[in-house]
Amino acid sequence: MPDNIFLTAPYFGSRIKVHQNGTLEIRNVRPSDTAEFICLARNDGGEAVMVVQLTVTSMLRRPIFNNPFNERIVSGNGKTTVLNCSADGQPMPEISWTLPNGTRFIGGTNHGSRHQINNDGTLVIRSTHKEDAGKYRCGAKNLMGYIEKLIILEIGQKPYILTRPRGIIRSISGEPLFIHCLSDGSPRPRIYWTVPGGHTLTRPQVLGRYQLLENGTLIIQDTTLHDRGNYICRARNDAGEAVLTVPVIVIAYPPRITMGPPSSVRAETGRPIQLNCAATGIPKPEITWELPDHSVLSGTLIIQRPTPSDSGTYKCLAKNHLGTDSKVTYVLFTVTLMVFYKHLFSLLYSNNLDFVREHEQKRFIFQKHTTPSLTSSPSVLNVN
């Protein structure tokens, strides 16, 4: 025994036993048990000696990959591609590679100018091109077994943007704006938009007034002056990135009335009258009318069967979020003699002369002292 320890049969220790037949049993061997063991058999006739050299090595282990999962690798055309396949085991496993065309390489050797297996099992492919794409199988083998994993190599194409606007994009305030960023590449690029405020949209989504579509188009609803600035589109994949900057200006100006009624209008009672009012502006202004009784209606104003009491000041208002423009006209409705006598004769035939005299007196007083009040229910046509 090591350290000049003598054990006589039979002997029963915690790890070591010497059986009656002379067999030495060592349980749970460890590297420290490495030593020279001497067996001595003795009787009255003499003795015999046998020397046994025991060497304890590390425990044998089946190969295991440091990354046991199958992988998908994207490399660029013309670049150097590195496929990792490191493994552990006891004894240290031997690494082999099988290429997509069936060629098998063993670790530690150089296989031509473009393929090489390093000592750690890494496969290096120089000047990678499209023909190198495919399924690569890495194997690790030792005395305890063999394992294999799959690595799929794709030769990527750097993204490039298909749509490039010419110059500045002009948007009308209040209208939706579409900014396109169609791209191509392998693998399919992901689109990222950075808006002037600094926020980045990283996936198809709706965020407030912004909407990013699957194809990379950015939609801005109800544009305002605050939406002007540079919009940056980035198309990314594993092979690289392409960038597009789109400058946007938003066109807007306050309303300006371009066509309206004159400052004063004289019209006959009983006949319809139309008051037109048109305006320009961005966003498109809303046209409203303020009537003599201060009520407000929208659109083109038409007064059906007007009476003198409809006389008064009519104001056209054109509004958008940038401002207001207005134009005022005074409309006077008068009664012609023909209309008056026609009405008078109808009253005479009613055989009520007292009522006729009273009505005639009131009509002339009313015309002299007209108080603007709306009694004939003006109607309004919407402006398209």
pLDDT tens profile 211-232 = 999 999 999 999 988 999 999 9
Asked if residue 383 has pLDDT above 50, the reply is: no
Task: Return the pLDDT at 60.
Answer: 83
Q: What share of the chain is helix, strand, coil (3-state, %, to 5)?
A: 10, 50, 40
Asked if residue 257 has pLDDT above 90, the reply is: yes
pLDDT, tens only, 265-321: 999 888 899 998 999 998 889 999 999 988 888 777 888 888 888 999 999 999 998
Name the residue with tokens 């790890």. Answer: 15
Task: Return the pLDDT at 296.
Answer: 80
Rounded CA separation 266/272 (Å): 12
Span(s) in the chain for CATH 2.60.40.10: 61-157, 162-251, 253-384
Which residues have CB under 8 Å from 163's CB, separation 6+? 180, 181, 182
pLDDT, tens only, 67-93: 999 999 988 888 899 999 999 998 899
The amino acid at 245 = T
Asked if residue 22 has pLDDT above 60, the reply is: yes
For domain 162-251, the CATH superfamily is Immunoglobulins (2.60.40.10)
Rounded CA separation 296/380 (Å): 10
Task: Return the pLDDT at 371.
Answer: 33
Asked if residue 349 has pLDDT above 70, the reply is: no
Sign of the alpha-carbon dihedral angle for 7, 12, 15, 16 = positive
Buried-state track 142-173, b at ≥16 Cβ within 10 A, e below 16: beeeebebebebbbbbbbebeeeeeeebebeb
Task: Return the pLDDT at 377.
Answer: 46
Nearest to 210 by CA among 33, 235, 197, 361: 197
pLDDT, tens only, 162-191: 998 888 999 988 899 999 999 999 889 999
Asked if residue 110 has pLDDT above 80, the reply is: no
pLDDT, tens only, 56-70: 877 788 999 999 999
Buried-state track 335-354, b at ≥16 Cβ within 10 A, e below 16: beeeeeeeeeeeeeeeeeee
The verdict on pTM exceeding 0.75 is: no
Q: Are strands 177-179 and 218-220 parallel, antiparallel or unpaired?
A: antiparallel
- Helical (H) or strand (E) element with 368: helix 353-368
Rounded CA separation 17/10 (Å): 8
Average pLDDT over residues 198-212: 91
Asked if residue 337 has pLDDT above 80, the reply is: no
Asked if residue 206 has pLDDT above 50, the reply is: yes
Class level of CATH domain 253-384:
mainly beta
The total of other beta-carbon atoms located within 10 Å of residue 366's CB is 14
Q: Where is pLDDT greater, at 362 or 35?
A: 35
Task: Return the pLDDT at 270.
Answer: 85
Most confident of 31-40, 228-237, 332-341: 228-237
pLDDT band at 360 (very low <50, low <70, confident <90, very high): very low
For the domain bounded by 61-157, which CATH number is listed?
2.60.40.10
Task: Return the pLDDT at 107.
Answer: 66
Average pLDDT over residues 205-216: 93
Q: Where is pLDDT greater, at 113 or 103?
A: 103
Asked if residue 357 has pLDDT above 80, the reply is: no
What percentage of residues in the chain have a pLDDT greater than 90?
A: 47
